[in-house]
Amino acid sequence: MIKQIPNIITSLNLLCGCVAVLFAVSGDLISASFFVFFGIFLDFFDGLAARLLNAPSDVGLEFDSLADMITSGVAPAIVMVQLLNESFFGQPFIISETFSVDEWNLGMTNYLPLMGLVIAIASGYRLAKFNVDTRQTSSFIGLPTPANALLILSVPLILHFQSSEWIEGIILNKWFLIGLTLVSSMLLNAELPLFGLKFKTWDFKSNAMRYLFLVCCLVLLAVLQFIAIPLIILTYILLSLFWKDKNTN
């Protein structure tokens, strides 16, 4: 039973992702965001539990990717669809309403927000590559799906908790959202080396970049709250460009 603890944690991650999808489909983007955040938090601990309990398994690795596909792939994609709905039509919809015969008769313009689903496709492809790419055992090639999910889900949180006229003008601009969809999807699968975020040891020398990144995260979150999340992702990418030891730790 103890050996199943990592899979139980992964199951909870998957459950959070499924609940997030239900909230996103119904238009409650804030609840969806928080469930995704909690799922990503659990995602960090399933691998840690597997290492501490000496219980790694091939099934666990595949299960983790399947859970990530829902929590960090499908849920953010539906959130983006709803953000695009709000940009194009002034409000999120219950997704099933989008596919009614009456809506279809309005023309293809009504379906443009569905391009947010590109995030789900890009996430699935990125996870499939990760599972077979031997270069990504301790570092990443391309933006990890949880990091991309945090980037996407920061948008509704900023709109809800830190909104202003100029923020809404930028974030709810359809070209901004379309650009964010395409850029994030490309970052997921770009040949961009990024340092791993999991600690194998706690010494400073081999983890200097990780400690620096964590300090930057804490400072940005304390000062900027949810607006800090996109800046944290940008900081992660920029620090990785200066990270020299990409194949160790």
With a cut of 50, say whether residue 44 has pLDDT above it. yes
**What is Dmax (Cα atoms) for the chain?**
62
Q: Is 0.85 surpassed by the pTM of this model?
A: yes
| pLDDT over threshold 90, residue 57 | no
pLDDT of residue 97: 61
Residue 206 in any domain: the answer is: no
Query: Total domain count for the chain?
Result: 1
Note the pLDDT tens digit of each residue in 194-234: 987 766 666 777 777 788 888 999 999 999 999 999 999 99
Residue 149 lies inside a defined structural domain of this protein: yes
The 10 Å Cβ neighbour count of residue 86 is: 22
Tell me the C-alpha distance between 136 and 192, whole Å. Answer: 11
Residue 224 counted as domain residue:
no
- Assess if residue 86 is contained within a domain: yes
The confidence score (pLDDT) of residue 145 equals 95
Lowest mean pLDDT among 58-62, 76-80, 129-133, 189-193: 58-62
Residue 61 lies in a domain: yes
Cα–Cα separations (whole angstroms), residue 40 to 6, 46, 120, 127: 14, 10, 16, 15
The predicted model gives 164-178 an average pLDDT of 92
Q: Three-state SS for 85? A: helix
Q: Per-residue pLDDT tens for 6-23?
A: 889 999 999 999 999 999
The residue among 103, 151, 102, 138 whose CA lies nearest residue 210 is 138
Average model confidence (pLDDT) across the chain? 86
Q: Where do the DSSP E strands lie in the chain? A: 139-141, 193-195
Q: Does residue 208 sit within a domain?
A: no
- Give the CATH number, domain containing residue 129: 1.20.120.1760
Residue 41 belongs to a domain? yes
Phi, psi of 140 (to 5 degrees): -125, 150
pLDDT at 136 > cutoff 90: no
Containing domain of residue 56, as a range?
Answer: 2-197
- The CA distances from residue 66 to 21, 40, 50, 118, 142, in Å, are 15, 13, 17, 17, 18
**Does some domain include residue 45?**
yes
Contact 98, 111 (CB under 8 A): yes
